[in-house]
Structure 1
Amino acid sequence: MRVVIAEDNVLLSTGLELLLNRVGVQIAAIADDAAGFLSAVREHRPDATIVDVRLPPTFRDEGIRAALQARREHPGLPVLVLSQYVERQYAAELLATSGGGVGYLLKDRVSRVDEFVDALRRVAAGGTAMDPEVIAQLVQHAGDPISALTPREREVLALMAQGHDNTAIADQLVVTDNAVQKHIGNIFAKLGLAVTDSGHRRVLAVLAYLNAASRTGGR
Structure 2
Amino acid sequence: MNAISDPPERSTDKAVAATIIEAGLSAVPVVGGPVAVIWAAVVGAAYEKRREQWQKDITEAVQDLLDQVDELTAESLAQNTEFLDALAHATASATATGQQDKLDALRNAVLNSALPSDLDSDTRAMFLRYVRDFTPSHLRLLRLLANPLDWYASRGLAWPNLSAGGLSHIIERGIPELKGRRDLYDRLFADIAAAGFTNTGSLHGMMTGQGLTAERTTEMGNAFLAFVTDPRPASAR
- For the aligned pair, the TM-score class normalised by the smaller chain equals 0.3 to 0.5
Structure number with higher strand proportion: 1
* TM-score in terms of structure 1 length: 0.32
Compare CA radii of gyration and give the structure with the larger one.
Answer: 2
Structure number with higher helix proportion: 2
